[in-house]
Amino acid sequence: MSKLGVLISGRGSNLQAIAAAFPGEVALVLSNREQAPGLAWAAEQGIATCALPSAGREREAYDRDVVERLRAADVELVCLAGYMRLLSRVMLDAFPNLILNIHPSLLPAFPGLDATQQAIAYGVKFSGCTVHYVDQTLDGGPIIAQAVVPVIAGDTAETLAARILVEEHKLYPQAIRQALLRG
């Protein structure tokens, strides 16, 4: 049975979707923010959790601690789900091609923060979400899967994000299965 580690910084709705749909085990949920609602949710479910505050920490030293926690939980694949930190070489080398991320746009369009606001401002007619492997670029690693949603007249960043989120929750578990099959 595959063991996943899920890294979050906030709400954790993708974490919930993964936990519900993934046949393997979520072996650890780690958050760099102690107050992340997703961390409390995971603890309520009886999933192992770890709050590891990142504020003021040097990036590589912090990532060494994260790797140690993931290894202790015997994690095979790492899923970033609203994890608001760039990864250092320490993480990337520890889990080569074994770290996934979900982003609320059709990459390579609109990487970085406020992707749905960027999509609205540009005036695209379709957007969506992307699950990709993580490398040292910002939202730039090889794409595993995408889902498309229309942008509807009158959409705001929030209404578009909500439409995309519905697809994220279906896409992420599916992309995890694909990544595990590829080994």
What does the binding site for ligand GRF look like in residue numbers (CB under 6 A)?
Answer: 8, 10-14, 38, 81-82, 102-104, 129, 165, 168
Is 103 part of the annotated catalytic residue set? Answer: yes
Q: Which is nearer to ligand GRF, 64 or 157 (CB)?
A: 157
Q: Which is nearer to ligand GRF, 64 or 114 (CB)?
A: 114
User: What's the CA gap between 49 and 52, in Å, rounded?
Assistant: 10
Q: Which is nearer to ligand GRF, 68 or 150 (CB)?
A: 150
User: What's the CA gap between 43 and 39, in Å, rounded?
Assistant: 6
User: What's the CA gap between 9 and 35, in Å, rounded?
Assistant: 9
CB of 102 to ligand GRF, least distance (A): 4
User: What's the CA gap between 168 and 179, in Å, rounded?
Assistant: 16
> What pairing do the DSSP bridges indicate for beta strands 99-103 and 126-133?
antiparallel
Best CA proximity match to 177, nearest among 136, 138, 139, 131:
131
User: What's the CA gap between 163 and 14, in Å, rounded?
Assistant: 14
Q: Which is nearer to ligand GRF, 72 or 148 (CB)?
A: 148
CB of 103 to ligand GRF, least distance (A): 5
DSSP assigned state of 14 = H
Catalytic residue among 103, 132, 163, 169: 103
Catalytic residues: 103
